Amino acid sequence: MSTNNMYQQRIPREKSAAMFAEALEYFPGGVNSPVRAFRSVSGPPLFIEQAKGSRMQDVDGNVFLDFCCSWGPLIHGHANEYIEEKVMKTVVKGTSFGTPNEMGNRLGKLILDNHPYVERLRFVSSGTEAVMSAIRLARGVTGRNKILKFDGCYHGHVDSLLVKAGSGLATFGTSSSAGVPESVAADTLILPLNDRDLLEEILSKHAHEIACIIVEPIPANNGLLIQDPSWLKCLRIKAYKHNVLLIFDEVISGFRVGFAGAAGYYDVKPDIITFGKVIGGGFPVGAYAASKEIMDYIAPVGPVYQAGTLSANPVAMAAGLAALELCLTPGFYELQAEKTHAFATALEAYAREKGYPMHVPHIGSIFWLAFGTDRITRSDQIDPANMEYFKMIHHELLQTGVYLGPSGYEVGFISGAHSVGDLEEAVGKIKAAMDVAFA
C-alpha cells in the first residue's frame, strides 16, 4: 500500500486545514503547545468546536469519541453539567480579585480532608508551575542545589528538568531544549528508572549536594511506564537514608488513579507532591503540597518566595471543587478502573489472537497502546520505529470517529462520561485500525 493511499483522508478536514494555515501566521508551528501540531501523525491538526460527555466535534462537523480528554483533566468528560453549573454561578460574581476567596478555602479543605499524605498546599496555575515551585521549596528546605530525576519522567518545561524528558520532546525525537544553560542542567542528575544499585551509588557520592529526588510514580508522559511498587518503596527508603526530600510528580496520576493518587495507590508517602490536570476540572490549576513543617518554608511565613496573580482564582477553584466532589462519589474510582481494564484487556486479547505486536498497559483510568509484546518500564525500551504503527492506527481511527492524542508516546484517558457502549464501540474500531496497521 502506498503512503498516499495509506493516509488518504476519508473525512472532511478542509476547515481545520484552513484554520491551521491561518494559525501558522500567528503562532510558532501554528500551535501553542508542540504536540498539537500533528507532526507525528497524518494531516492537519483538528480544530475542535464543541464537546459534550465522551464526544467532541471539530469545525468540519466530524464527531469523535475522545480518549485525550484534554490530556487528562476531564475525568468526568466534556462539559459536565455539575461542573458547568458551579462555574457559571461563580463567574457571574467576578472572575478574579487578586484576593483570597471562599472557593479557594473550600477546595483546599476538600483536598486536605481526603488526602492522608499532605497537611498544607499552595495553589498555582499549572503543573509546570507546581513542579518549579516544589523544586525551589526542596532547595530552600535543604540548602542544596542538585536534583535527581529519572529518564522517561517528564516534569513540565522547567529549565532544570528539560533533560531527557518525555511528552512533546520525545515526539520530536530530542532529549533536551535549546535555551537551557549548561550551568542549570549541570545541577540535574539523571538516572534510569529502577536501577537500584546506581541509585545507591549516586546518593552515596552526592547526597550532600542533592536537595530532592523527583519522580513520576506512574510515568505517563513517555509511554505508560508502570513501575514495580517495590521501586517506589525503595526510593522512599533511600531518600530517608540519605536525608534528601522525595517529590512525587502527580500532575497526571493525582486524583486520576484514586483521590490520594499514586501515593495512596502504592501506600508510599513522599515529602512533597505536585498536582495538576484533574485538580482544575478543565481550568488551568496546579498545586504543590506537603507537611505543615515543609510548607511553612513558603512565603509569607518562610523564606522561599512564590506568588501568582491568578493563583486560586474563584472560577478555577469552583471548577476544581466540583470535579473533586464528583471524584468522591462512592465507587467512582472502582468503576473507572473496571471499565478501563475491560477496554484494555479486550484489545490485548485481540492482539494475541491475531499475533499482533501490541499490548495495552493500564492503571486506574489511564491506558497506552504499546507496541511489542514485552512489558515496557523504561523509555529506552521503546522502539521509535514502532511509532509508524501508531501513526497508521491514529489515522484510521480519525476516519472512523475515535480521537487519541496525536503521539504514540502519549497515554489515553477514560472518563466517567465514557459508557460501556462507548468503550465497546471504540474497541471495535481500534481492532479494525489494528488490522490495517499490522496487515
The 3-class SS string of 43-78 reads: CCCCCEEEEEECEEEECCCCEEEECCHHHCCCCCCE
Pick the last residue of a domain from 327, 362, 385: 327
User: What are the tens digits of pLDDT across the range 318-360?
Assistant: 999 999 999 999 999 999 999 999 999 999 999 999 999 999 9
249 is catalytic: yes
The total number of residues shown for the chain amounts to: 439
In a domain, 72, yes or no: no
- Same-domain status, 421 and 319: no
What is the pLDDT tens value at each position of the chain, 439 positions in all?
Answer: 444 567 888 899 999 999 999 999 999 999 999 999 999 999 999 999 999 999 999 999 999 999 999 999 999 999 999 999 999 999 999 999 999 999 999 999 999 999 999 999 999 999 999 999 999 999 999 999 999 999 999 999 888 898 753 344 433 323 467 888 888 888 899 999 999 999 999 999 999 999 999 999 999 999 999 999 999 999 999 999 999 999 999 999 999 999 999 999 999 999 999 999 999 999 999 999 999 999 999 999 999 999 999 999 999 999 999 999 999 999 999 999 999 999 999 999 999 999 999 999 999 999 999 999 999 999 999 999 999 999 999 999 999 999 999 999 999 999 999 999 999 999 999 999 999 999 8
Do 402 and 369 form a contact (C-beta atoms < 8 A)? no
User: Catalytic one among 154, 356, 389, 409?
Assistant: 154
| One domain for residues 22 and 112 | no
The answer to whether residues 321 and 341 belong to one domain is no
Q: Which of 292, 327, 362 is the last residue of a domain?
A: 327
Task: Give yes or no: residues 318 and 334 share one domain.
Answer: no
Mind listing the pLDDT tens digit for each residue in 162-206?
875 334 443 332 346 788 888 888 889 999 999 999 999 999 999
User: How do residues 40-56 score in pLDDT, each as one tens digit?
Assistant: 999 999 999 999 999 99
Q: Domain for residue 264, yes or no?
A: yes
253 and 388, same domain (yes or no): no
Q: What is the CATH number of the domain that holds 188?
A: 3.40.640.10
pLDDT at 370: 98
User: Which of 309, 327, 345 finishes a domain?
Assistant: 327
Tell whether 74 is covered by a domain.
Answer: no
Of 58, 66, 249, 422, the catalytic one is: 249
Q: Which of 86, 164, 238, 277 is catalytic?
A: 277
Query: Do residue 308 and residue 162 come from a single domain?
Result: yes
Q: Are residues 300 and 341 in the same domain?
A: no
Residues 41 and 108 occupy one common structural domain: no
Task: Tell me how many domains the chain contains.
Answer: 2
Residue 71 within a domain: no
403 is catalytic: no
> Domain for residue 152, yes or no?
yes
Q: In this structure, are 13 and 146 located in the same domain?
A: no
Quickly list DSSP for 159-201: GGG-BS--THHHHTT-SB-TT--HHHHTTEEEE-TT-HHHHHH
- Note whether 228 and 294 are same-domain residues: yes
* CATH number of the domain that residue 38 is part of: 3.90.1150.10
Does residue 387 lie within any of the structural domains? yes
* CA–CA distance, 57 with 47 (Å, rounded to integer): 9
Residues 258 and 406 in one domain: no
**pTM to 2 decimal places:** 0.94
What pLDDT sits at residue 162?
A: 84
Q: Can you tell me the distance from the alpha carbon of 366 to that of 185, in angstroms, rounded to the nearest whole number?
A: 31
Domain that holds residue 404: 3-66+330-437
